[in-house]
Each structure stands twice: as C-alpha cells, then as structure tokens.
Chain A
Amino acid sequence: QSVLTQPPSASGTPGQRVTISCSGSSSNIGSNYVYWYQQLPGTAPKLLIYRNNQRPSGVPDRFSGSKSGTSASLAISGLRSEDEADYYCAAWDDSLSGPVVFGGGTKLTVL
C-alpha cells in the first residue's frame, strides 16, 4: 500500500491530452514539493517533473505538473506512442512514513 495514491491505469489516443493524479496528505504533498518519474519498459525511472511543475532540460514541454493542496497532477498533451510508460509521483514526507514516499504508479497506454 503506497503512501501516495495514483490510479493504476490511464489511456489516451495519439494527440490527446491525459492527466494522471496523485493524492497525498498534509505531511507530504500538502507541505512539500511533488516529483514525477517516467519509467519506460525495462529501464530505470527518469525524472520528468521536479518542484511541482519544473521540467529538467530535455523534457518536452508536452509534460506539465501542478499541485493543489494535498493533490498533484501530471498532464501530457499531444500524446505520442513513445509516452507509453509507467508514471510515478513522489514527495518528501515529514511523518513517520518518510522521508521519501512514492505513489503506486500509473500505467499509461497509448491506444
């Protein structure tokens, strides 16, 4: 049982916009930054979004992050087949669960 809650799956067609949610609590998302990782099949996770909505260099601006209260979202616009991957949210946590917690992951399928 992950501390952060994500939907297990999401899907969309090429060109669509999809969003993936991540729900937490006051000790993690509510008081700390949210991070998003993309894990392509058979590879290590890759940092996609840091500090809620910042993109590392090289990450397309099709990917965007937002946070409100104890929830966060990852949006992918102009969906491409290569976006098919698992996506994880993470946050620092100030409670006994921490200090780092992950979501359970969302498998994105491009139809």
Chain B
Amino acid sequence: QVQLQESGPGLVKPSETLSLTCTVSGGSVSSGSYYWSWIRQPPGKGLEWIGYIYYSGSTNYNPSLKSRVTISVDTSKNQFSLKLSSVTAADTAVYYCARADTATLFDYWGQGTLVTVSS
C-alpha cells in the first residue's frame, strides 16, 4: 500500500519561499510510470493542481504558478519536494502531495498540510 506524507513549515512569511517535502512509502519515486504531484486547496475553496515530476525526472507546472514553482525529487530518500517562491497571503492553503498515472490520475494522496502565509 502506497502512503504519502507531507512535511514542512506551517507558517511562511510573505515574499519568502514555501518549501514542502513528500515522503513516499510502499513504492518508489523512481520506478513505474507515475507523476508525483502537488495539489493545493485554499481554505473553503476548491482544488488546484500545482505541478508534477515524472518518474523520469521531467516536470510540468500549472501555467498560473510556473514562474514561482520548482518540484524536485530525491531518490535516495524516496521523497519529492515543492518550492514556491515569493509567496503572498493568496498562497495560504492545505497542500497535498499525490501520485498520479494516466489511468487513475490521483490515486494516492497524503493527508495534507496547512501552510499559512503571514508576517
């Protein structure tokens, strides 16, 4: 059974960089045709796809966030990470990591972590 767990600071100051890590267990980030993804949900609002890193290492980002987003992978730790720069209050959200493939899209999700942007 694949499990994902987000970790990182729950509070980030405006203009700084948000950094989160997703630790994967029960599966490998470097095998299989999977897209290791980040999705966020502002309080009381809907889901927004942020981006993914493919098992081969290639990335794809939401065009609206592309200039501020970097997703990377650490195969030695079986983790993938999100960096979102120049954050504002609008980036306050629950951030989820998830696994996707072309058949089932997002089949496994982390529990989510709330990140608040505030001084």
Write the residues of chain A forming the contact surface with B, with a CB cutoff of 8 angstroms.
Answer: 2, 33, 35, 37, 43-47, 50-51, 56, 88, 90, 92, 96-97, 99-105
Q: A51: which of B46, B103, B109, B111 is its contact (CB, 8 Å)?
A: B103
Instruction: Note all chain B residues with C-beta closer than 8 A to A96.
Output: 63
The answer on a CB contact under 8 Å between B47 and A102 is yes
Say whether A102 contacts B109, CB under 8 Å.
no
Q: Answer whether A90 and B111 are a contact pair too, CB < 8 Å, given A2-B46, A105-B47.
A: no
**Given contacts A50-B104, A97-B63, A44 and B110 within 8 Å (CB-CB):** yes
Q: Which among A44, A103, A105 is the interface contact of B111 at CB below 8 angstroms?
A: A44
7 residue pairs from A and B, CB less than 8 Å apart? A35-B104, A47-B106, A50-B103, A56-B104, A56-B107, A96-B63, A101-B49
Interface residues of B in 37-55 (CB under 8 A from A): 37, 46-49, 52
Give the interface of B toward A (CB within 8 A).
Answer: 37, 46-49, 52, 60, 63, 96, 100, 102-107, 109-112
Q: Do A90 and B105 form a contact, CB below 8 Å, given A44-B110, A44-B112, A96-B63? A: yes
A105 to B37, CA, bound (A): 19
A104/B112 in contact, CB under 8 A: no
